[in-house]
């Protein structure tokens, strides 16, 4: 293990204590967290993520944010000036980092590949747990990569860093005992799966058009596939090549209105969203509030859409997406409304699929006939 840890910061000690008392840090990890002050990895300026954008934080508010269990936004608009102020990089919520590291189950000497260096904070934690010579980290953004390198050097840590697209991993140092993605994936790239050692583990937040995010722990199987359960909701910024393009507005001339007995609140749990993502692939679901009423928006690439809230629904386009959502929600209810840990993911050389309770229980997409209500 690399020596010369940074002196404990009072805020960091309190943060580590809170995570440990919540059961998220083992004694070994707590020691690592206590000697890796978060503020040394936060650039200036930094922002707080709000519902409708990002707010610059300074002074005491900045310090309080850094040592809270909240993400700290460290880049807007890919670093380009004059943008709309969309968060594109951050120092993640400490409790989520702790959960991911716990699921990763690293041991001293494990070779670890991190996808998304960002500020270098997670790489620093890994260096102090498994040894800097065993940590490899890639970052697509050259400016962020340079800042992370400087942050890590300031702590006396020198892991192998590379500015490259994380989707490709880092093949020249493979295989890895553990792979951790700190950006959300729509699909697990086969290039990453191929770089995982036998009995290796990959932990990644996943995202889909139908759900905001859920973290999965995948273990390499004897046949080479990766498979494992989801274990917690997690909203992470997507890998740049995995970002969804915005769809245009629906054709309002096709609008149809009706009453609905399905409360949008019943579509909010992550368990339903995981189930729905498999049954309605390609359909996008967004939750929000309109005039303080919980509202759900559904949209598909064929110009079908639906918006529901307050007991009414408006549907657009060739498909009745709300009727499909009602059917899927009824199926989910009939299955006992399973929660997030009941779901899992399997990645093969031919693609990936979700399952419920066991890898053999694959959740199949609705057939075209089902989607049309035939």
CA distance 121 to 137: 11
241 is annotated as an active-site residue: no
Is the confidence at residue 3, as pLDDT, over 50?
A: no
The average confidence (pLDDT) of the chain is: 91
What are 238-261's pLDDT values in tens digits?
777 777 677 778 888 899 999 999
**pLDDT confidence bin for 369, thresholds 50/70/90:** low
240-249 long-range Cβ contacts below 8 angstroms, 24+ apart: 240/78, 240/140, 240/165, 240/183, 241/165, 241/167, 242/167, 242/183, 242/184, 242/185, 242/186, 242/187, 242/207, 244/186, 244/209, 244/284, 247/284, 247/299, 247/301, 248/303
pLDDT of residue 230: 96
Pairwise pLDDT comparison (265 vs 209), residue with the higher score: 265
CA distance 358 to 362: 8
Catalytic residue, candidates 22, 89, 191, 241: 89
Taking residue 1's Cβ as centre, other Cβ atoms within 10 Å add up to: 13
pLDDT of residue 47: 94
Mean pLDDT to the nearest integer, 86-109:
93
What are 23-58's pLDDT values in tens digits?
999 999 999 999 999 999 999 999 999 877 899 999
Give CA separation, 336 vs 56, 175, 292, 329, 342, in Å: 44, 40, 29, 11, 11
Is the confidence at residue 155, as pLDDT, over 70?
A: yes
H helix and E strand count, the chain = 10, 18
- Out of 152-166, 194-208, 281-295, least confident range: 281-295
What are 312-355's pLDDT values in tens digits?
999 999 999 999 999 999 999 999 999 999 999 999 999 999 99
**pLDDT confidence bin for 82, thresholds 50/70/90:** confident
pLDDT of residue 372: 46
Peptide bond into 321 cis (omega under 30): no
pLDDT of residue 51: 78
Mean pLDDT to the nearest integer, 113-140:
97
**pLDDT confidence bin for 368, thresholds 50/70/90:** low
SS3 state of residue 334: helix
CA distance 345 to 361: 11
Task: Record the pTM.
Answer: 0.90
pLDDT of residue 102: 96
**pLDDT confidence bin for 133, thresholds 50/70/90:** very high
- CB-hemisphere CA count at 13 Å for 281? 12
- Residues of the chain above pLDDT 70, percent: 95
Taking residue 349's Cβ as centre, other Cβ atoms within 10 Å add up to: 9
Is the confidence at residue 149, as pLDDT, over 70?
A: yes
- Out of 7-11, 115-119, 290-294, 342-346, least confident range: 7-11
Mean pLDDT to the nearest integer, 101-126:
96
pLDDT of residue 5: 43
CA distance 346 to 362: 9
């Amino acid at each position: 293990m690399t020596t010369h840890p940074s002196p404990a910061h009072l805020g960091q000690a309190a943060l580590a204590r809170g995570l440990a008392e919540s059961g998220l840090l083992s004694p070994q990890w707590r020691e690592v967290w206590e000697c890796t002050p978060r503020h040394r990895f936060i650039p200036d300026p930094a922002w707080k993520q709000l519902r409708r954008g990002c707010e610059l934080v300074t002074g005491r508010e900045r310090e309080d944010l850094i040592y809270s269990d909240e993400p700290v936004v460290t880049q807007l608009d890919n670093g380009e000036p004059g943008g709309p102020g969309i968060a594109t990089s951050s120092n993640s919520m400490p409790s989520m980092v702790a959960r991911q590291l716990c699921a990763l189950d690293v041991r001293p000497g494990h070779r670890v590949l991190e996808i998304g260096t960002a500020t270098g904070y997670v790489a620093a934690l890994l260096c102090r747990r498994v040894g800097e010579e065993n940590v490899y980290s890639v970052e697509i953004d050259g400016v962020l990569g340079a800042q992370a390198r400087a942050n890590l050097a300031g702590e006396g840590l020198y892991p192998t860093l590379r500015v490259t697209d994380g989707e490709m991993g880092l093949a020249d140092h493979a295989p890895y005992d553990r792979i951790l993605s700190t950006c959300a994936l729509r699909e697990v790239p086969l290039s990453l799966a191929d770089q995982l050692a036998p009995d290796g583990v990959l932990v990644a937040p996943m995202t889909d058009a139908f759900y905001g995010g859920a973290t999965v722990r995948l273990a390499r199987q004897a046949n080479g596939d990766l498979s494992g359960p989801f274990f917690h909701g997690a909203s992470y910024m997507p890998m740049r090549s995995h970002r969804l393009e915005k769809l245009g507005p629906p054709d309002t001339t096709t609008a149809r209105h009706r009453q609905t007995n399905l409360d949008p609140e019943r579509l909010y749990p992550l368990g339903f969203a995981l189930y729905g993502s498999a049954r309605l692939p390609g359909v996008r679901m967004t939750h929000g509030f309109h005039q303080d009423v919980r509202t759900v928006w559904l949209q598909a690439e064929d110009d079908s859409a639906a918006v529901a809230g307050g007991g009414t629904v408006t549907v657009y386009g060739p498909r009745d997406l709300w009727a499909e959502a009602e059917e899927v929600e009824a199926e989910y209810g009939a299955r006992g409304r399973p929660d997030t840990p009941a779901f899992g993911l399997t990645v093969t050389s031919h693609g990936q699929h979700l399952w419920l309770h066991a890898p053999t229980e694959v959740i199949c997409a609705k057939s075209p006939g089902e989607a049309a209500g035939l």
